[in-house]
Structure formats: structure tokens, C-alpha cells
């Protein structure tokens, strides 16, 4: 019989390998293996022990470090490509309004939008998503639960979940702004009839 933890240590070595430089970390099956390391084992080859024993800590810690490295690799990879209006996915919405997806993930949506003069969106609400509107250039009018807010450049306004709101550009100049939604608003938008 092998020493306690030997097999698991070997699996960590197989699971994590460094290829080339520091940005080329390969972690295969890391999450499922990490979960299996956290469970006590009762096979004949391994001694059943609580996960945070000294022996298991030697095995679990490298797996945890591997998960952190995987996360950092993703962050580094994403950071290698700067995002802007020039290279972001573009879309048209409303009455000739422009939008660019800066971050488009289920847990977060960040968009850059531009509204020409005398345009508005439909009044609506989001049941789950919390939003923050931040104006880059121009003036954005935001009706929030019946109260009008004039948001100028370098100002922002938070929209809580469930709050009825409508953005509009009542000025004679375009307005550009950032909208941060957590989580994404995709599938979480209820348009309201005019006057409600």
C-alpha cells in the first residue's frame, strides 16, 4: 500500500502541468478533480481522512493554486485584447441608436451606447438585473419610477431591480454612456405599455 496522499499527489501532478511561459498554464479537469480531492477517500490504497488534515492539505493546496492560475490565465488572456467601440460587437437599437458590447457574459453585461437627439427607449423594468448608467458625453434624461433625472457627463445613476425606467435624449446633441448590468439583462426585460 502506498503512503497516504501519494496517489492524490500524483493526480495533482498529472492534472496541472506548465507548458512554456507563465501564460501557458494548462489545467485539465481541474474543477472535477478538485472536488474529488475535497471528499474523503476510503479506497484500500488511501486512508480516509478529513479534507483539511495536514496530509490532505499538501494535496488540496496545489489544486487550489491550479484553480487560481486558471482564473488568472483567463484574466490575462482577456486583458491582452483591449476592447473599445472600434473592435466591440456593434448593434442598432430603438430609433437609430447604437450599442457596443464591451463585456457580454451571463453574470455581467457592460455596453457602450449612443443615442441621437430626440430619441428614447421603451419604458421597462428588469426583474433581476441591477443597472448603472454612466454618461460619457452629452446629457441623458432618465425617468425612474416617475421622477426625471438629468444625468450629465461624468455622472451616473443606479437602477435597482424592478424599478420602471426610460432613458431618453431630449437634447440637440448625441449622448454616449456606459450601462453596467449585473447579471445580464438578456431575457430579463419587461416592456411597459405607454402611460404605465
pLDDT tens for each residue of 136-177: 999 999 999 999 999 999 999 999 999 999 999 999 999 999
CATH T-level topology, domain 89-191: Jelly Rolls (2.60.120)
Backbone angles phi, psi at 38, to 5 degrees: -80, -10
pLDDT at 182 over 70: yes
**Residue 69 has what pLDDT?**
59
pTM across the whole model = 0.61
Residue 60 to residue 12: CA distance in whole angstroms:
9
pLDDT at 98 over 90: yes
Contacts of 172 (CB under 8 A, 6+ apart): 117, 118
Q: What grid cell was written down for 95? A: 430609433
Domain coordinates in residue numbering, the chain:
6-79, 89-191
**Residue 194 has what pLDDT?**
82
Percentage of residues of the chain with pLDDT beyond 70? 59
Residue 152 has a CB neighbour count (10 Å cut-off) of 11
Assign 63 a pLDDT band (cuts: 50, 70, 90).
low
Residue 37 to residue 59: CA distance in whole angstroms:
8
**Residue 67 has what pLDDT?**
61
Rg (alpha carbons) of the chain, rounded to whole number: 25
Cβ neighbourhood burial of 159 (10 Å; 0-12, 13-18, 19+) = buried
Amino acid at each position: 500500500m502506498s503512503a497516504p496522499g501519494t496517489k492524490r499527489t500524483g493526480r495533482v501532478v498529472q492534472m496541472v502541468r506548465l507548458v512554456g511561459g507563465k501564460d501557458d498554464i494548462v489545467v485539465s479537469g481541474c474543477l472535477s478533480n478538485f472536488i474529488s480531492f475535497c471528499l474523503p477517500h476510503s479506497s484500500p490504497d488511501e486512508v480516509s481522512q478529513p479534507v483539511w488534515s495536514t496530509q490532505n492539505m499538501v494535496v488540496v493546496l496545489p489544486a487550489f493554486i491550479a484553480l487560481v492560475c486558471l482564473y488568472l490565465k483567463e484574466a490575462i488572456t482577456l486583458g491582452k485584447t483591449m476592447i473599445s467601440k472600434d473592435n466591440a460587437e456593434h448593434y442598432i437599437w430603438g430609433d437609430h441608436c447604437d450599442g457596443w458590447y464591451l463585456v457580454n457574459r451571463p453574470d455581467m453585461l457592460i455596453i457602450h451606447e449612443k443615442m441621437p437627439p430626440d430619441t428614447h427607449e421603451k419604458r421597462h423594468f428588469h426583474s433581476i438585473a441591477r443597472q448603472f448608467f454612466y454618461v460619457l458625453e452629452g446629457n441623458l434624461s432618465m425617468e425612474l419610477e416617475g421622477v426625471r433625472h438629468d444625468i450629465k457627463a461624468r455622472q451616473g445613476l443606479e437602477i435597482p431591480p424592478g424599478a420602471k425606467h426610460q432613458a431618453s435624449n431630449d437634447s440637440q446633441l448625441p449622448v454616449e454612456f456606459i450601462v453596467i448590468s449585473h447579471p445580464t439583462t438578456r431575457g430579463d426585460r419587461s416592456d411597459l405599455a405607454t402611460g404605465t
